[in-house]
Amino acid sequence: MARQILDAARSKGGETEKITINLGPVDLGQIDLLVEEGFYSNRTDLIRTAIRNQLSVHAVVVKETATRRALVLGLQYFSKQDLEAVRAANERLKIQVLGLASIAADVSPELALATIESILVRGALHASPAVKAALADRIR
């Protein structure tokens, strides 16, 4: 039953996470020069392009590792109804996501504790502060 819930879980697209990086003045100056010369529309464009290029270089390793670790690749959404079905089946989820794991805003901390055994996310976890606090010792 838990596997069916995972397979049936809905995903959302278009979500991003903000990161902060520190660059030296020479690197930053070179980025600005490339932007001024029209190679990129802005600093963010260059950084996103560079990251995508590196991820492409390592795509095989990422895919093999995700498969070996049985990670859900992409976006995984857990609604209140999904978790209620897991509870009704007297099962517990071991959530493993490479990307975004999202728990609906209407999921109570009690429901999350009753249905989620563990969470491993390589990327981002979106959940209410109360649910995150309740699951804190189960998040790896």
Q: Is the pLDDT of residue 9 over 60?
A: no
Please report, for residues 32, 75, 86, 108, 136, the alpha-carbon distance to residue 133 in angstroms, rounded to integers and kept in the order given: 41, 22, 21, 11, 5
Q: Is the pLDDT of residue 6 over 50?
A: no
Provide the pLDDT for residue 14.
Answer: 56
pLDDT (mean) for 26-34 = 95
Provide the pLDDT for residue 30.
Answer: 96
